[in-house]
Amino acid sequence: MKAFIDAPLLIYLNTLVDSKDRILYENFYVEILTKYKPYTDVLVLDELIYISKKKYNIPYKVSVGFIESNVLPYVYVLSLSEDEYNYAVKILSEHSLKPSDALHLGAMMKNNITLIISEDKELDKISAIKRLWIS
């Protein structure tokens, strides 16, 4: 089964330094990589780099290194095009989500992905997908 990995999991993996907190997210990531065919999109990578710098002061170079060593070898990265945008516009007209979340959902819909790995509870109101997070 395909699964879309949203930014929060990757941000936590890139920024957490306390080993007690980090191990929970590392184990969850390994579980996702083992159980599912993982996907993300380029906008998630942008969010990862930007939020890691803005909120946690992680240098861009460190985040890019994290992506190259811990994401790209294991997760298929989807492109975003006009098709995904058109899906996103439809989603935005029906639900009040952040535009970036609507674009992620557009990428998911275009690629027949119905499971999203995200802590964002706002996504629960989208009946076409299921959200999975650390329990």
* 41 in a structural domain: yes
Residue 105 gets the label, from left (phi > 0), alpha (psi -120 to 50) or beta, of alpha
Range of the domain at 27: 2-118
User: The pTM is what?
Assistant: 0.95
* 54 in a structural domain: yes
Note down pLDDT in tens along the chain; length 135 residues.
999 999 999 999 999 999 998 999 999 999 999 999 999 999 999 999 999 999 999 999 999 999 999 999 999 999 999 999 999 999 999 998 999 999 999 999 999 999 999 999 999 999 999 999 997
Domain count for the chain: 1
* 127 in a structural domain: no
Q: How far apart are CA 68 and CA 71, in angstroms?
A: 6
Beta-bridged to residue 132, according to DSSP, are: 117
* 124 in a structural domain: no
* 134 in a structural domain: no
Q: How many CA atoms lie within 13 A of 70 on its CB side?
A: 20
* 125 in a structural domain: no
Backbone CA torsion sign across 14, 20, 25, 29 = positive
* 49 in a structural domain: yes
* 25 in a structural domain: yes
Q: Report residue 118 as tokens.
A: 């995200």
Residue 92's CATH number: 3.40.50.1010
